[in-house]
Structure 1
Amino acid sequence: MPGWVEVALRSLVGFLLLLIIARMFVKKPIGETSHLEFGLIASVAVILAIGSIQLTIPVSNLLIGLLVWAGSAFFILMLSIKNATIRSAIYGKGIPIMKDGKILEDNMKKQHLTSDELLRKLRAKQVFQVADVEFAVLEGNGELNVLLKKEQQPITAKMLHHPVPKIKEPETVIMDGKILHEPLSSRGFNEEWLKTELKKRNATVENVFLAQVDEYGQLTFDLFNDTQQVAQPTELPLLEASIKKAQADMELFALDTEDKQAKQMYSWCANQMKQVHELVSPYTKSN
């Protein structure tokens, strides 16, 4: 067998093996892997890379080396899953760097973390003032996680006791100009409904690059032609406008009539429409 053919075959097999091993042991971004995980994958990659060009190394020796390294990685992975002590020893554990708003200098020294690095890691979390931090922990992979002081945390709907709609994953119903029937039917719609909705906004299936249906049944899509403007969905805004108009009409009728009973009835209806508007408002403004 010519040397270049053997190199090509070894390289192809090595690439496939590396892909399989990496998918088995590392299912996270490279920045979140531990030093051990990165070292194991790097070692396997070096073995495969050298073995693909060093034709004097027998394939059997390569397989033995690969088996030892991959087997060791798998063995350590299994141990770490079953034993918390081993898991902490291998992957490390979170070390507090700030507590009660104060920097723990001794822990910083133990982790070889300088003040410049601390400030850089805080800036990566969009924190530019140390005084805003209540608690910070340095994770085993070197990432700094931060808890802001109560007064510095963003206001949430829960803090305001404001009802918000539940979020459900949108379904992609068109991809690359082709209808995906399964997700479309899971939302309770069919192809005819989809084409009708597209036609309302001057689009066809063939012109749509990507289309999704949200939890409220509204269709949003992006066209292949980036210069063409896409009309926004109008169903929910129209619903809110109709409710507000009904409330305004009831209030107007209450002002126009001299009949006390009718005035009381119109005022009650206006109040009911106001409550309906408050209930549906989070949903109509969701987009």
Structure 2
Amino acid sequence: MPDWLIIVIKSVSLLVVLFALTKLLGTKQLSQLNVFEYITGIVLGGIVAVHTIDPDGTIAYAFIAMFIWFIVPYGVEYISLKSKAFRNFTEGKSTVFIQDGKIMEDNLKKAGYSTDDLLEKLRDNNIFLASDVEFAVLEPSGALNVLPKRENRPLTPKDLGLKLAPQKEPQTVIMDGNVLHEPLANLNLNINWLETELEKMDVSLENVFLGQADTNGQLYVDLYDDMIAVPNPSEVPLLLATLKKAQADLELFALATDNQTSKSMYERNSKRLQQAIDMITPYMT
């Protein structure tokens, strides 16, 4: 068998095995690597590279070496899930750099971080004054997580006493001109609803590159032809505006009539409608 064909066969075989082992080790290998996982990844890649370019090498030896470097990390990961002490040994522990607004110089030295390194990590978190930080911790992955002081955090609706409706993630219901039925079902919607919404926009399904729907039943589309303008969904704002107009009309009717019974009815229903508007407004904005 020619050497080039041997190399091709070995490359494909070892690549398939490497892919399978990486999948078995989990997606953690692809995101945040600790020291042990980093070494494992390098060695597995090295084994594949060495045995790929050597046509005289025995591929069985490569499989044995890769199996060893798979089973050991797999066993380490399994034990780490069961033992906190073993996990701290293999993955390392978090190191506090700033606590109660004060920099922990001894912890910086133990982690091998200089003041410039700390400031660089803070800038990565959009913080340019160390005095703005309440707490900062270096994770075993090397990422620095920062908690700004309370006065330096962005305002949230909770800080303002606002109650917002729960919101689920939007669903992609059209992709490349094709309807995705499962995301539609996740929003309790169907193809008839989708066709109706597209008709309102005067858009055909084949012209839609991407279509997404939110939990309020609002459809947002992007067309293949970027020159065509698509109106933004307006059903929810129109419904809220209609309710407010109805409430205002009831107040006007109460002011315009001299019949006390009718006036009382209009005022009572106006207050009820206003209460309903106040209740549903967080869900419609």
TM over 0.5, shorter chain: yes
Distance 1:126 1:261 in 2: 63
- Structure 2, gaps ≥5 residues long: none
Distance 1:148 1:261 in 2: 59
Residue aligning to 1:122:
122
Distance 1:125 1:227 in 2: 38
Alpha-carbon contact 2:251-2:266 (below 8 Å) kept: yes
Higher deviation after alignment, 199-208 or 244-253:
244-253
The aligned runs of 1:155-166 (5 Å cut-off) are: 155-166=155-166
Q: Match of 1:135, as an amino acid?
A: F
Q: Match of 2:24, as an amino acid?
A: M
Alpha-carbon contact 2:22-2:29 (below 8 Å) kept: no
Higher deviation after alignment, 74-83 or 247-256:
247-256
SS of alignment partner, residue 32 of structure 1: coil
Distance 2:157 2:187 in 1: 28
Residue aligning to 1:108:
108
Distance 2:47 2:136 in 1: 39
SS of alignment partner, residue 27 of structure 2: coil
Shift of 1:26: 4.2
Q: Match of 2:42, as an amino acid?
A: A
Superimposed CA distance per residue, residues 100-155 of structure 1 (whole angstroms, 9 cap, x where no aligned partner) = 10000010000011111111111111222211111111101111111111222222
Residue aligning to 1:41:
41
Q: Match of 1:75, as an amino acid?
A: G
Distance 2:81 2:141 in 1: 17
Q: Match of 1:233, as an amino acid?
A: P
Alpha-carbon contact 1:26-1:33 (below 8 Å) kept: no
Residue aligning to 2:252:
252
Distance 1:8 1:150 in 2: 60
Distance 1:123 1:133 in 2: 12
Distance 1:227 1:91 in 2: 53
Higher deviation after alignment, 166-175 or 234-243:
166-175
Superimposed CA distance per residue, residues 1-52 of structure 1 (whole angstroms, 9 cap, x where no aligned partner) = 1111111111111221222222222414745211221210111011001111
Residue aligning to 1:76:
76
Alpha-carbon contact 2:171-2:184 (below 8 Å) kept: yes
Distance 2:92 2:279 in 1: 48
| Count of equivalent residues | 285
Shift of 1:247: 1.9
How has the CA–CA distance of structure 1 residues 29 and 69 changed in structure 2, closer, same or farther, with 3 Å as cutoff? closer
Residue aligning to 2:147:
147
Q: Match of 2:2, as an amino acid?
A: P
Alpha-carbon contact 1:211-1:219 (below 8 Å) kept: yes
Residue aligning to 2:201:
201
Residue aligning to 1:5:
5
Shift of 1:188: 3.3
Residue aligning to 1:53:
53
Superimposed CA distance per residue, residues 256-287 of structure 1 (whole angstroms, 9 cap, x where no aligned partner) = 334455444433333322222222222221xx
Distance 1:268 1:119 in 2: 62
Residue aligning to 2:138:
138
Distance 1:204 1:5 in 2: 51
Alpha-carbon contact 1:26-1:37 (below 8 Å) kept: no
Q: Match of 2:215, as an amino acid?
A: E
Higher deviation after alignment, 44-53 or 264-273:
264-273
Q: Match of 1:15, as an amino acid?
A: L
Residue aligning to 1:187:
187
Q: Match of 1:196, as an amino acid?
A: T
Residue aligning to 1:242:
242
Q: Match of 1:4, as an amino acid?
A: W
Distance 1:76 1:250 in 2: 71
- Structure 1, gaps ≥5 residues long: none
Residue aligning to 2:15:
15
SS of alignment partner, residue 172 of structure 2: strand
Distance 2:259 2:129 in 1: 64
